[in-house]
Amino acid sequence: MKQIYYVNGKRATFGQYINASAYNYQIEQEAELHKVKVNAFLNYLEKNPQYISKWSFCDTEEIAVGLAFNEFCRSPECKKAIEQYQSNQKKKAWGCLILVIVFLIIFILRVSGVI
């Protein structure tokens, strides 16, 4: 039986479907990383409210915040927040793997009659 795949409402080959899925996953990861950066920036602004005053020469508040955010993204504080996020993701992945292995062992022992 042949599978039919659709991408954006159009018929696609399996390779196109996989590429579109990988692209969507990459976009989701980048959006999640952006959320981490924004949260770290807001936490940094709560601790250092004078940080934004360097851009008082800007015409609008949006431009000043944008410039401050771009500079913050290159700072060690932002890199530290990203590293912490990535280490938390690894911990979650290892935790899920350990849970799957434990349940698999319990299932095998239950089926074999040991438990």
Calculate mean pLDDT across residues 61-87.
92
Q: What single string gives the DSSP state of each residue in 2-38?
A: ---EEETTEEE-HHHHHHHHHHHHHHHHHHHHHHHHH
Instruction: Locate 96 and state its tokens.
Output: 């899920």
The lowest-confidence range among 71-75, 76-80, 110-114 is 110-114
- pLDDT value for 75: 93
Q: Which residues of 50-67 are buried (b: 16+ CB within 10 A; e: fewer)?
A: eebeeeeeeeeeeebeee
Residue 1 has pLDDT above 60, yes or no: no
Mean pLDDT of the chain: 88
- Helix, strand, coil shares of the chain as percentages rounded to 5? 80, 5, 15
Calculate mean pLDDT across residues 21-42.
91
